[in-house]
Structure 1
Amino acid sequence: MKKIIISVIYCGLLFVSCSQEDFENDPQTSNEILDQSDLLNAQELLSIQEINDIIANEFKQNGSFDWQGASDQLLWSAAVQGGGLLTIGYGGEGEFAREGRSAEYDDLKASLLNIISSQDNRTATDVLVYEDEVLNYMDVQITSLSSIKTLRATDNIRYLDPSGYSFYQQPIDQTAQSRSSKGCSFDASVLNSADSRVISPNALVSWNFDEHNIEQAWSLSTGAGVTVGVIDTGLSPDQSKLNTSGINDGDSNGRSVEKYGTYIDSAWWWSNNLDGPNDRCGHGTNMASAIAAPRNDDFQPVGVAYNCNLVSYRGTADVVLDDYHERKGVSNALKALANRSDVKIISMSIGYPWSIGNVKDAVKYAYSKGKLIFAAGGTSTSATNWYGVIFPASMDEAVAVTGITDNGQYDRCDVCHSGSKIEFTIVMQRDGDDNRTGAVLGYNDGDNDYVGGSSVATATTAGIAALVWSRYPGWSRSQVLNRLRQSSDLYPNKDGSYGWGNIDAFQAVQ
């Protein structure tokens, strides 16, 4: 399949392919960022392979991994192997954000910086990398194991994450043949004639929309008046139907599209040059199409909520949040959407096998502002999709979605994850043919494409939610979510792997 949220997961770990631009992935190069004389006995520093082996064993034994349960040595080694970066979530339990500056929090931050500077023999200014203005976290650079030990013994620390370590993920199964594509593709596809049909004024309806009665739902709601935020890889500047020039094409009218970028495309964590809103991957364009592509007059796929407003954030380079700038970019995008009163729904077809502290804080912040957040349950190879629902779909504040085939038996798609955290399913793959999935707009004008996995399932569900909220604009998030549940196949008996099952969009908007 071309577009997948976690392209390759080996025992829950991502194999991230390297390029010439990723030269900092070399552990020797990255370690040179730090003064090696500041490190403790080199024998105490675990190698990348040793760190990965420990993580792999944790996955095999418990099916999950969390840095908060790691040993001091493991956490310190991962931080050092990731350029010394450590994210500190501070404050008491549940204190993930604040409104404005606080003397109490300022004193706490100062005390934490003093701990590191005294243990590492560096100034607080040298230690601090980034301080968030809304969320209660900061990024620092550490060198000593004693800093980790002292911080862990300090009150009012919610988490410590080695936020640069992900450059070094390795496949657990060394015999595996494939490498991660990270969900990116600019390819176009010639759609099978059986995978779409024409409706007025000459738009294509993807075959899987009929599995959810989406066209029938359009008789009552088209998403007008609802704004959906998409955090992904951005929007293609070459796909006019998702830009200002074509978002109101055909029967789509009176709506807007906005594009922003919070991602920094740099190999170096200290860079602060934002990359802009344009998609350089293709995945974000496909997801936006599934939600909001116009009901056009050009024989191209229409989105579920073809009259909704769209706000796109390029928060990441690809679908796997394995980079310091991607995590920070997604966190900042969540904050921005959270603070917009017009945004009702946030769709995130991106993720990571385990929790990321600053993204987790941002999800909680957006949820506290009343946003309905949909997240992809996870996608990998068919040999490795045993791993459960990924982050942030694994959070209680997010609604997890996965994809299934059209055989009517609730069989997940070849590359989709399932599990107890799943709330909804979307039919998005022909049974026995993983190349025939949902039909969407391609990266360039005139291009059509297939896109599958839990990614498109999530975007489709976000679009259905927009139809419901457009039909009932005075409803709360809970009312919209409950209507989606009540309109699903398996309600009121939630399945342990597929949640409430397939949503009937027509029933949901009645």
Structure 2
Amino acid sequence: MIKNLLRISVISIMFFASCSKDDNIKEGSIVIEASQKDPLSALEINAKIDESINTKGSFNWKESSSHLLWSAIAQGQNIVTIGFGNSKDDIERAKLSDNEKIQNDLLAIIMKYEGTNLDKTLISSDEYLNLIDVVISKQETIIALRKSKYIRYIEPGDYKYFEGKRVLEKMASGSGSGCGYDASTLSTADYTFITPNSKAPWTFYKHNIPSAWSYSTGRGVTIAIVDTGVSPNQTLLGSSFNDGNSSGRTIQKYGVYVDSIWPWSTTTDGTSDLCGHGTSMASVAAAPRNDNGLPVGVAYNANLVTYRAASNVVLEGYHEQNGVKNAFTALGNRSDVKIISMSMGHIFSVGKIEDGIKYAYSKGKLIFCAGGTSTSFTTFVGVIFPASMSETVAVTGVKEGSTYEKCDVCHTGSKIDFTVVMQRSGSGNTVPVDSYYDNQSDYVGGSSVATATTAGIAALVWAKNPSWNKDQVLTKMRQSASLYPNKNPEFGYGNINALLAVQ
């Protein structure tokens, strides 16, 4: 939740500014070369981002020039996110005693160089994290802020990298890992009927998940899915979630995504999945085991919390990034949630999402993120953000077979921790899931389904060992993987044997 915590007048802010030792920039001391007075185009900005990823393997706004940063801000409604603190690790407001004074000092710098008042400067001030969203139009303001010792990062709050590449439509084309409402008739070779009348996907047997159910079904553990929400048309993730062999559990649905082009808008569009992706992920992780004749989830007795945090799998734009940040901080504050799974991301880091994930991680959450799924337009990227973070567990998909081979659309790299078999060697079929609509099934693949599957396995392990912390659960999962104790540079510790993990 974003709340405007500022309850002071412009006069008091200017007083803080006059007393601040950090605001020591003299009027007229910032000189911008003539060649950098106009902002770069979106194509020019993207070219520099791509160059960094190709040469260094990553891109971060911290390492960019002030001109590049300001150009991206100008291309994104002049919205800016500022993370502040006394050090790079100062992310939590409750742990920074002078957070209000620092925030006021920074706002005063902005108003001084922009020539505006507070109402036209501050969009929001986060309730839990040391970050604010503001409006900045001048490059001089960015340069002045970057001189402050209190700045952890300054980033464009609404720059859309993919918009210029015209690929979001491809990401949402129903390719098996993005959006789509499709239903498919499942091949009988891709599932096994189990009592009372559920379908266990073929891939579960590659990880000994059905055998692990003799020891644990996830009961008592709560998994959170941060994604595009859950379909209101799928009763197995609604009224029939607590049904059959899946009893004594709950599903809770939340919506933090604001469907608006205006950053000032705060009204969310509800909990319902309007994409289809989130429904598939919830199904893989925890769909019920009952007599409906549909695919069962890995942890079919676990509780489930779903968040509609974005409209699509690409976390691009102010409201999607804000929604994800808000979901992670809210989940971090819940003592009952142990596992968070997110199969969405971006090709470079986003400061406010980083802060949200670090906040949840500091509260003891085990966080799984997708290593990346794409076709031709981002194949040059390795493991995407936030799977690239040290606080997350990165997962990708591999093909069926005796050797490791990534799935056709999956990313690999040194940041990968685990793999899941999710593409058949012969037919190429992926993983059976409950469809967007009731009484229908579909196939879904990529690193997305691999991530939700791994989160489900983690729930089995944690339910078997309820006194463990996240590090103990993760260690047991690593020890149960096929490549342990070695870590492959592309596939991490490999495929987890769920039966070994719960024994």
Report the TM-score when normalising by structure 1.
0.89
Say which SS state the counterpart of residue 116 (structure 1) adopts.
Answer: helix
Q: Which residue of 2 aligns with 1:219?
A: 214
Matched, 1:439 2:432: yes
Equivalent in the alignment of 1:231: 226
Match status 1:301 vs 2:295: yes
1:192 maps onto 2:187 in alignment? yes
For residues 395-406 of structure 1, the aligned pairs below 5 Å read 395-406=389-400
Q: Which of residues 82, 93, 102 is equivalent to 1:98?
A: 93
Q: Structure 1 CA distance, aligned partners of 2:287 and 2:500?
A: 22
C-alpha change, 1:103 and 1:498, in structure 2 (3 Å) is closer
Relative distance call for 1:384 and 1:113 in structure 2 (3 A) is: closer
CA-to-aligned-CA distance 1:321-369 (integer Å, 9 cap, x gap): 0021011111011011111111110000111111111110010000000
Matches of 1:87 and 1:240, distance apart in 2 = 39
SS class of match (1:331): helix
Of the three residues 49, 52, 59, the one matched with 1:58 is 52
State the one-letter code of the partner of 1:463.
G
Aligned-partner Cα distance in 2 for 1:415–1:167: 20
Q: Does 1:206 align with 2:197?
A: no
Q: Cα–Cα, structure 1 residues 470 and 168, in superposed 2: closer, same or farther, change >3 Å?
A: closer
- Separation in 2 of the partners of 1:179 and 1:456? 18
TM-aligned CA deviation for residue 140 of structure 1: 0.5
Q: CA deviation at 1:181?
A: 1.9
CA distance in 2, matches of 1:98, 1:178: 38
Distance 1:103 1:468, change over 3 A: closer
Q: Distance in 1 between matches of 2:446 and 2:419?
A: 11
State yes or no: 1:466 paired with 2:459. yes
Separation in 2 of the partners of 1:49 and 1:384?
A: 16
Judge conservation of contact 1:213–1:505 (CA < 8 Å) in 2.
Answer: yes
**1:358 maps onto 2:352 in alignment:** yes
2:162 corresponds to 1:162: no
Q: Secondary structure at the match of 2:164?
A: coil
Aligned position for 1:137: 131
Residue identity in the other structure for 1:462: A
Report the CA distance between 1:103 and its aligned residue: 5.9
- Quote how far apart the aligned CAs of 1:493 are: 0.8
**C-alpha distance in structure 2 between counterparts of 1:45 and 1:325, whole Å:** 24
Q: What's the C-alpha RMSD, in Å, of the aligned pairs?
A: 1.8
Does the CA contact (< 8 Å) of 1:382 and 1:414 recur in 2?
A: no
- Deviation track 1:121-165 (CA, whole Å, cap 9, x = no partner) reads 111221111100100100011010000100111111111110111
Displacement, 1:374?
Answer: 0.3
Per the alignment, residue 252 of structure 2 pairs with 258
Runs (5+) with no aligned partner, structure 2: 1-31
Work out the CA distance in 2 between the residues paired with 1:93 and 1:294: 43
Matched residue SS, 1:99: helix
Q: 1:298-447 residue pairs with structure 2 within 5 A?
A: 298-381=292-375, 384-431=378-425, 433-434=427-428, 436-447=429-440
> CA offsets per residue over residues 5-50 of structure 1, 9 Å max, x none?
xxxxxxxxxxxxxxxxxxxxxxxxxxxxxxxxxx997952111121
Q: Which amino acid aligns with 2:192?
A: R
Cα displacement (A) at 1:170 = 2.8
Q: Is the partner of 2:311 in helix, strand or coil?
A: coil
State the one-letter code of the partner of 1:144: K
Distance 2:312 2:402 in 1: 32
1:40 and 1:145 in contact (8 A); partners too: no
Structure 1 position 59, deviation (Å):
2.1
Secondary structure in 1 aligned to 2:116? coil
Which of 476, 479, 487 is 1:486 aligned to? Answer: 479
2:194 maps to amino acid: I
Contact 2:171-2:374 within 8 A present in 1 as well: no
| Structure 2 residue identity aligned to 1:223 | G
Q: Using the alignment, how far apart are the partners of 1:167 and 1:58 within structure 2?
A: 14
1:382 to 1:207, Cα distance in 2 relative to 1, 3 A: farther
More contact order relative to length (CA 8 Å, sep ≥ 6): 1
CA distance in 2, matches of 1:179, 1:348: 20
Between the aligned partners of 1:308 and 1:438, the Cα distance in structure 2 is 20
Verify the 8 A CA contact 2:231 2:274 in the aligned structure 1: yes
Cα distance between partner residues in 2 of 1:282 and 1:348: 14
> Relative to 1, partners in 2 of residues 1:178 and 1:163: Cα closer, same or farther, differing over 3 Å?
closer
Alignment of 1:270-281 (within 5 A): 270-281=264-275
Q: Is the 8 A contact 1:48 1:168 kept in 2?
A: no
- Whether the aligned pair in 1 keeps the contact of 2:171 and 2:313 (CA below 8 Å) is no
| Residues 229 and 253, structure 2, Cα contact 8 Å, conserved in 1 | yes
